[in-house]
Homo-oligomer: A and B are copies of this chain.
């Protein structure tokens, strides 16, 4: 009998209990070992749940029970999750987590402890919720060099952008609706400012390329500045705006990573990923593009990914799975301003023809974009140039007294 402990009885934690109990028989069969959830750690009391006798408030009870071989951390946040997970691994217990903040900040350190102690540290649910992505990336695509990864990694912002596109809602209204439906937190900043997607990009990048990437090294823009006019331009151009997290290896061995809103063509497989869904495109050198699509969050989808990791941990109590990456290194993540991009730009302009002449002088040949009913401005897509060059040209344009209304990258996935 393998004993399991669950740290945290919030949304995901209670979902883990629900999935584990509902599909108990087939889970045991797939794991090949009998298992029980012996402890649930939470500061609060839950007298009404059928498993109320499993609750403990003292972490040491779990740490000191040698029969607990797998610990599920679903507290979220860095503290006390980091301390608990580190001590569990050091005590030779396997750990499964859905905590993207923890993995993005401390993944390399925790994986090193897991390797030293010959246990598993698994975190499939930390990216894409229930969508299988980390295991396919590390196992199924293992014969490929990963060329790049680009994904819609945050369901809340994707819901907001979908409402802005389909129903012409303003950002603030779409956000309010997302909050009302429970898709967005009362403090939505981690979602709408791109921080959540950034952590997921860091985890994907660390796993795909074998070296830890810290969130603070990834240029991150959110969607708070996206307006109804931007949406109309994207539509007129033949695409949609999505918050895209992406990462690729440069030829010199450094890494490029970014989170930002982007124009993508309606023909893209990512363009049809709407509402709270996530979609992740992985480009392999042998494989070409594969896309993984599904619910990137939610109680039961996330919990089912956690429980699948528990099954995998139990099956690999003897043979450790090979998931590992090196610690972060200075200079590994490049400055995004070095990397070529094409940019959609809107500038205030009473005289559009004159404005575009000034733009042409600074940026060369641009592609004008016209949105029906939008007046007193000019909009265009720049040639593909290093972002630093584009930024300098736009500064020069401001020096000519043009106001920059909006800049959004144009991607080609």
- A143-B311, A272-B269, A293-B291 known; A286-B19 Cβ under 8 A: yes
Q: Which of A170-178, A221-229, A296-304, A332-340 contacts B (4 or more CB under 8 A)?
A: A296-304
Q: Tell me the minimal C-beta distance from A69 to chain B in angstroms.
A: 16
- In the complex, what distance in Å separates the CA atom of A23 from the CA atom of B146? 11
Whether a CB of chain B sits under 8 angstroms from the CB of A289 is yes
Most chain B CB neighbours (cut-off 10 Å) among A288, A312, A315: A288
Closest 7 CB pairs of A and B: A132-B140, A143-B307, A290-B294, A286-B304, A132-B136, A291-B293, A319-B319
Whether a CB of chain B sits under 8 angstroms from the CB of A8 is no
- In the complex, what distance in Å separates the CA atom of A68 from the CA atom of B362? 64
- List CB contacts (< 8 Å) of A298-351 with chain B: 298, 300-301, 303-308, 310-312, 315-316, 318-319, 322
Q: Are B289 and A294 in contact (CB under 8 A)?
A: yes
Whether a CB of chain B sits under 8 angstroms from the CB of A144 is yes
Say which residue of B20, B290, B310, B312 sits within 8 Å of A130 (CB atoms): B290
Copies of this protein, total: 2
Binary per-residue interface labels of chain A (20-51) against chain B in the complex, 1 for a CB within 8 Å, 0 otherwise: 10110011001010000000000000000000
Whether a CB of chain B sits under 8 angstroms from the CB of A11 is no
- List CB contacts (< 8 Å) of A250-296 with chain B: 269, 272, 284-295
Binary per-residue interface labels of chain A (56-74) against chain B in the complex, 1 for a CB within 8 Å, 0 otherwise: 0000000000000000000
Q: Give chain B residues whose Cβ lies under 8 Å from the Cβ of A272.
A: 269, 272
Chain A: interface secondary structure? mixed
- A286-B300, A288-B130, A303-B286 known; A142-B293 Cβ under 8 A: no
Q: Give chain B residues whose Cβ lies under 8 Å from the Cβ of A285.
A: 22-23
Q: Are A23 and B143 in contact (CB under 8 A)?
A: yes
Q: Are B144 and A140 in contact (CB under 8 A)?
A: no
- List CB contacts (< 8 Å) of A1-18 with chain B: 15
Residue of B nearest to A291 (CB): B293
Whether a CB of chain B sits under 8 angstroms from the CB of A124 is yes
Q: Give chain B residues whose Cβ lies under 8 Å from the Cβ of A311.
A: 139, 142-143
Say which residue of B20, B293, B303 sits within 8 Å of A269 (CB atoms): B293
- In the complex, what distance in Å separates the CA atom of A366 from the CA atom of B19? 40
Whether a CB of chain B sits under 8 angstroms from the CB of A131 is yes
A-B contact pairs, 14 of them (CB 8 A): A19-B286, A23-B286, A26-B145, A30-B142, A131-B290, A135-B135, A135-B140, A139-B308, A286-B301, A286-B304, A287-B305, A290-B294, A291-B294, A319-B319
Binary per-residue interface labels of chain A (177-188) against chain B in the complex, 1 for a CB within 8 Å, 0 otherwise: 000000000000
Whether a CB of chain B sits under 8 angstroms from the CB of A385 is no
Q: Tell me the minimal C-beta distance from A289 to chain B in angstroms.
A: 6
- In the complex, what distance in Å separates the CA atom of A307 from the CA atom of B287? 11
Size range of the interface on A? 35 or more
- In the complex, what distance in Å separates the CA atom of A316 from the CA atom of B139? 12
Binary per-residue interface labels of chain A (386-409) against chain B in the complex, 1 for a CB within 8 Å, 0 otherwise: 000000000000000000000000
- In the complex, what distance in Å separates the CA atom of A294 from the CA atom of B319? 31
Q: Are A308 and B141 in contact (CB under 8 A)?
A: yes
Q: Are A142 and B292 in contact (CB under 8 A)?
A: no
- In the complex, what distance in Å separates the CA atom of A285 from the CA atom of B304? 9
- In the complex, what distance in Å separates the CA atom of A284 from the CA atom of B132? 12
Q: Give chain B residues whose Cβ lies under 8 Å from the Cβ of A289.
A: 294-295
Q: Give chain B residues whose Cβ lies under 8 Å from the Cβ of A141.
A: 132, 304, 308
Residue of B nearest to A18 (CB): B286
Q: Are B287 and A130 in contact (CB under 8 A)?
A: yes
Q: Tell me the minimal C-beta distance from A310 to chain B in angstroms.
A: 8
Q: Give chain B residues whose Cβ lies under 8 Å from the Cβ of A143.
A: 19-20, 23, 27, 303-308, 310-311
Q: Give chain B residues whose Cβ lies under 8 Å from the Cβ of A301.
A: 286-288
Q: Tell me the minimal C-beta distance from A253 to chain B in angstroms.
A: 14
Q: Give chain B residues whose Cβ lies under 8 Å from the Cβ of A286.
A: 15, 19, 22-23, 130, 300-301, 303-304
- In the complex, what distance in Å separates the CA atom of A300 from the CA atom of B311? 32
